[in-house]
Structure 1
Amino acid sequence: MMVGNWQRLLLLCLLLLSGSATAASVAAAADLKFALSEIAANFERERGGRVVLAFGSSGHFARQIPQGAPYELFLSADEEYILQLARQGLLRDEGRLYAIGRLALLVPLGSPVVADGELRGLASALAAGKLQRLAIANPEHAPYGRAARAALERAALWERLQGRLVFGENVAQAAQFALSGSAQGGIVAWSLARSPELARRSVAALIPAAWHPPLRQRMALTARAGAEAQRFYDYLQQPPARAVFERHGFALPDD
């Protein structure tokens, strides 16, 4: 996916609308939508900084950065994307592990699927013919999609669900699909499922961490990072920001 002139123009417009030409441009995994938005608002209020956030698939961002996408800080849901970009010389260094993500089964209110972490309710609804669609992020480029596939394989459901899976471009879109009325549920990020915006419309259950490879989430400054991006990167490693990550359902890595 090439980053065209219109995308660069859009980012420039966002920077201008942010009120500062020195705003930090941040690419962030979709599971960070609520947590990182809160942290950025705190940073702007407490430190007087400016941050422009773009949320999406970690895999897409990892392809866009080598093609010239003007991001200064990349928060990936899969640390391997950061390490690959670092090996290409596109980042200042290998960055820092900032969180460990968790996976959840999310079902809308009134769904025939009973939400439980070991997916027994999902299996029962499938066997009873009550499950038509299940949403997950696309495993081809979304870390949470790969984790969802691993969990479904652990529950011996992956093959049985072929033809019933709806793929979101990222985990936030998968959560939207899960609650859209066309699906009976989805496997998404716990950080999204527990947000007030989704929680009032759904029930969620945490899937055991042992059921999928660890979602080690790493961040790093790109080679084009400026002073404002550096300030925000430093702020993300401080106790107030880490506390927000934890409150939104992420596990914190050891320093």
Structure 2
Amino acid sequence: MKKFLVILFATLLALPASLATAAPLLVAAASDLAYCIDELAAAFRKETPGAEVKVSTGASGNFFAQIRNGAPFHVFLSADMMYPTQLAKAGAADGATLRPYAVGRIVLWTTDSRFDVNQGLALLRDPRVTRIAIGNPDTAPYGRAAKAVLVRDKLWEAVQPRLVIGENIAQAAQFVQTGNAQLGIVSLATVRSPKMAGVGRYYLISDTGVPPIEQGAIVTAVGMKEPLAGRFVRFLGSPAARAILERQGFGLPAVSND
């Protein structure tokens, strides 16, 4: 009997500790999600009582490098499909969980009243435009998209000396907002966010002739041991998540049947 009570006491002590130290779901999210990722996380918690989600936002390319080198993120929400696909090929993520969750759009944005963005990218030929912000084309998918439309419209060579390069799309937008750049090519989601709504003016840039900004979610190799990781990725295809993304200015991929 004494032995039984000792075992029971030890078990009761262990249970609260194990519940209290349950690890949060760690999500690495592209910076274009900065204004809606908290709402997505809250909606996920509502559907998954007891779940704790901790989010870091930044350039997709930087997260790619970190995860490939063992950073302990469970889920990666990239601003493209290339980075998560490469992680899967390298064995740093579970390729079976890869799915598109949103389609980004880019805009020409300014807070400077002297410039009429309705001219579109042709406005960048105006000699008064001396500072143009974009994300880093080497690490930020929205930076690559900005470069693609500038190349398409034969403007890339002309604007390079005037470019102000942000580490990610959020920093590029910050350059415009603070006046450190007169114009910027940023995400539609950024300028339609509650924080930026009504600030400045923007022009939706045509995506004709350039690759779509299809954004992908994947469970990392570390996340394969965390049941909530796959559940969070699948949640992004739910009506609740899609409604949030669409409201924030993202396009939506076809509905998945999984």
Which residue number in structure 2 is paired with residue 43 of structure 1? 44
Contact (CA 8 Å) 1:112, 1:131: kept in 2 or not? no
**Aligned equivalents of 2:210 and 2:41: distance in 1?**
30
How far does the alpha carbon of each residue in 1:190-211 deviate from its partner, in whole angstroms, 9 at most, with x for none? 1111112122321111111215
Which residue number in structure 2 is paired with residue 33 of structure 1? 34
The alignment partner of 2:120 has SS state of coil
1:2-17 → structure 2 map (5 Å cutoff): none
Which residue number in structure 1 is paired with residue 15 of structure 2? none
Unaligned runs of 5+ residues in structure 1 are: 1-18
Relative to the length of structure 2, the TM-score reads 0.84
Which residue number in structure 2 is paired with residue 158 of structure 1? 156
Which residue number in structure 2 is paired with residue 81 of structure 1? 83
Which residue number in structure 1 is paired with residue 170 of structure 2? 172
1:101-140 → structure 2 map (5 Å cutoff): 101-108=104-111, 110-116=112-118, 118-123=120-125, 126=126, 129-140=127-138
1:181-196 → structure 2 map (5 Å cutoff): 181-196=179-194
Larger Rg: 2
1:197 maps to amino acid: K
1:67 maps to amino acid: N
Match of 1:97 among 93, 100, 104: 100
The alignment partner of 1:118 has SS state of helix
**Aligned equivalents of 2:247 and 2:147: distance in 1?**
26
Which residue number in structure 1 is paired with residue 208 of structure 2? 210
Which residue number in structure 2 is paired with residue 240 of structure 1? 240
1:246 maps to amino acid: E
**Aligned equivalents of 1:229 and 1:117: distance in 2?**
44
Contact (CA 8 Å) 2:124, 2:159: kept in 1 or not? no
**CA shift in 2, pair 1:117/1:231, >3 Å:** farther
The percentage of aligned residue pairs carrying the same residue is: 44
The alignment partner of 2:161 has SS state of coil
Moved over 4 A (4+): none
Relative to the length of structure 1, the TM-score reads 0.85
2:104 maps to amino acid: G
The alignment partner of 2:196 has SS state of helix
The alignment partner of 2:94 has SS state of coil
How far did residue 91 of structure 1 move? 1.2
When structure 1 is superposed on structure 2, of 221-230 and 22-31 the one drifting more is 221-230
Which residue number in structure 1 is paired with residue 66 of structure 2? 64
How far does the alpha carbon of each residue in 1:204-240 deviate from its partner, in whole angstroms, 9 at most, with x for none? 1111121532111111101111123233222222111
Contact (CA 8 Å) 1:22, 1:228: kept in 2 or not? no
**Aligned equivalents of 1:122 and 1:197: distance in 2?**
26
Contact (CA 8 Å) 2:149, 2:207: kept in 1 or not? no
The alignment partner of 2:35 has SS state of helix
Contact (CA 8 Å) 2:108, 2:205: kept in 1 or not? yes
How far did residue 20 of structure 1 move? 6.3
**Aligned equivalents of 1:212 and 1:36: distance in 2?**
27
**CA shift in 2, pair 1:155/1:24, >3 Å:** same
1:119 maps to amino acid: L
The alignment partner of 2:155 has SS state of coil
**Aligned equivalents of 1:20 and 1:200: distance in 2?**
43
**Aligned equivalents of 2:119 and 2:209: distance in 1?**
10
**Aligned equivalents of 1:38 and 1:209: distance in 2?**
28
Contact (CA 8 Å) 2:189, 2:249: kept in 1 or not? yes
Unaligned runs of 5+ residues in structure 2 are: 1-19
